[in-house]
């Protein structure tokens, strides 16, 4: 039996599919995932249903993205503690994503950056003051670049009157599964294991090399801290879902087909795990930006300044 939808519903379905295609154009898939010829609505069925719900009511497409926590504490990876060219380019890409949706869908789109720096500050070696300074500068950058499709949400918006330490304790007790659950899940879930390995790698690289400890000791410490970071990250995702319901959930990390979150690329020239807050921008000889470690940029390029501090490097 063939069911024919009314014309206005067919138009809404087509619109939702077109919006989803824009998002899938920036999809960050799991490495090695086999290509498929299934329609977009089946490839990302969760996101299609969320988008369709907005389209049916002619509401703006609202999205969330946990990202932009703070700069890495490693001077070998970054050139400072404040946002620079990498963040500027990434924010412009996200704003452009919303703008492209608005070109085909009159109610438009917004994306809320859910900064997670304060969520796991105590496990990444960055104090809350530096994270607040980074977030303040990032919001100023949004205003300066007139990126009106982007909004901001962080731990400071929740539970007024509590310290960040108290808020993290509340996260642990009320929203997080705990580090041991993270460890157990990684034993039998490849996606969970891949995420945990990525966080361990970042934390091990961020640990200061001149602290008198061996590399194996720093790696062991990173494994312990990574379980807490992943647990908090999962709890933060639940907080976002509760406080910003009915949003299309995006992620900066690769996500398997059909996942609740859609992985997206921040910059076209970044690999699956490199982010602006773990690297610097190096413009190559063709004028294209690449995200690289600061130590590499120092060897290959010359610094360019903005507001009296290094913004990026250019290949010599």
245 backbone dihedrals φ, ψ, rounded to 5°: -70, 160
SS3 185: helix
d(CA 134, CA 147): 17
Specify the pLDDT at position 253. Answer: 86
| pLDDT at residue 10 greater than cutoff 50 | yes
What digits encode the pLDDT tens for the residues 230-276?
999 999 999 999 999 999 999 998 888 888 999 999 987 656 678 99
In percent, the amount of the chain with pLDDT more than 90 equals: 78
Within a domain: 195: yes
Give me the pLDDT at residue 257, please: 81
pLDDT, position 1:
44
Lowest mean pLDDT among 19-28, 135-144, 185-194, 270-279: 270-279
SS3 125: coil
Rounded average pLDDT over 130-134: 98
Domain of residue 118 covers 38-315
Distance, CA of 108 to CA of 257 (rounded, Å): 26
**Would residue 286 count as lying in a domain?**
yes
Residue tagged 């809350």 (tokens) = 128
Contacts of 179 (CB under 8 A, 6+ apart): 224, 227, 228, 230, 231
Residues 272, 304, 67, 232: is their CA dihedral positive or negative?
A: positive
Structural domains of the chain, count: 1
CB neighbours (10 Å) of residue 147?
19
What confidence score (pLDDT) does residue 269 get? 64
State residue 242 phi and psi, 5-degree precision: -75, -40
Q: Which residues contact 231 (CB under 8 A, 6 or more apart)?
A: 172, 176, 177, 178, 179, 181, 182
Any domain includes 309: yes
Distances (CA, A) of 215 to 5, 152, 161, 210, 219: 62, 37, 40, 10, 6
8 A C-beta contact, residue 244 and residue 275: no
- Side-chain-facing half-sphere of 8: CA atoms under 13 Å: 4
Secondary element (H or E) of residue 56: helix 45-56
Is 10 among the domain residues? no
CB neighbour class for 221 (10 Å; exposed up to 12, middle 13-18, buried from 19): middle
* pLDDT tens per residue, range 92-123: 999 999 999 999 999 999 999 999 999 999 99
- pLDDT at position 210 is 61
> Is residue 6 one of the residues assigned to a domain?
no
Give CA separation, 18 vs 52, 94, 200, 265, 307, in Å: 11, 18, 37, 19, 40
Enumerate the β-bridge partners of residue 66: 114
Q: Give the C-alpha separation, 265 to 61, whole Å.
A: 19
Q: How far apart are CA 41 and CA 89, in angstroms?
A: 29
Report yes or no on 15 lying in a domain.
no
pLDDT for 214 equals: 81
Of 87-96, 175-184, 253-262, least confident by mean pLDDT is: 253-262
Contact at 8 Å (CB) between 241 and 63?
A: no
In a domain, 213, yes or no: yes
Q: Is residue 152 part of a domain?
A: yes
What value does the mean pLDDT of the chain take?
91
**pLDDT tens profile 27-85:** 987 776 656 655 666 778 899 999 999 999 999 999 999 999 999 999 999 999 999 99
Confidence of residue 205 (pLDDT cuts 50, 70, 90): confident
Asked if 54 and 61 count as a contact pair (C-beta separation under 8 A), the reply is yes
């Amino acid at each position: 039996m063939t069911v024919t939808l009314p014309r206005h519903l067919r138009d809404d379905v087509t619109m939702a599919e077109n919006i989803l295609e824009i998002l899938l154009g920036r999809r960050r898939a799991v490495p090695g995932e086999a290509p498929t010829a299934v329609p977009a609505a089946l490839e990302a069925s969760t996101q299609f249903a969320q988008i369709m719900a907005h389209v049916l009511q002619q509401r703006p497409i609202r999205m969330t993205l946990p990202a932009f926590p703070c700069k890495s504490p490693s001077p070998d990876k970054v050139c400072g503690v404040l946002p620079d060219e990498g963040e500027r380019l990434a924010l412009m890409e996200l704003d452009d994503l919303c703008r492209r949706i608005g070109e085909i869908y009159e109610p438009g789109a917004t994306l809320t950056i859910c900064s997670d720096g304060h969520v796991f500050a105590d496990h990444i070696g960055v104090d809350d003051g530096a994270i607040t300074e980074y977030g303040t500068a990032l919001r100023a950058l949004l205003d300066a670049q007139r990126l009106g499709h982007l909004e901001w949400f962080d731990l400071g918006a929740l539970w007024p009157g509590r310290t960040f330490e108290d808020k993290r304790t509340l996260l642990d007790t009320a929203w997080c599964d705990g580090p041991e659950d993270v460890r157990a899940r990684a034993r039998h879930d490849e996606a969970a294991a891949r995420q945990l390995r990525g966080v361990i790698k970042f934390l091990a690289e961020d640990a200061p090399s001149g602290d008198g400890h061996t590399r194996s000791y720093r790696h062991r410490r990173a494994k312990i801290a990574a379980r807490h970071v992943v647990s908090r990250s999962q709890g933060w995702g639940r907080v976002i879902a509760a406080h910003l319901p009915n949003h299309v959930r995006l992620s900066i990390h690769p996500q398997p087909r059909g996942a609740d979150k859609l992985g997206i690329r921040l910059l076209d020239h970044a690999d699956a795990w490199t982010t602006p807050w773990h690297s610097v921008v190096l413009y190559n000889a063709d004028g294209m930006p690449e995200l690289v470690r600061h130590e590499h940029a120092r060897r290959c390029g010359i610094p360019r300044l903005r507001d009296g501090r290094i913004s990026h490097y250019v290949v010599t």
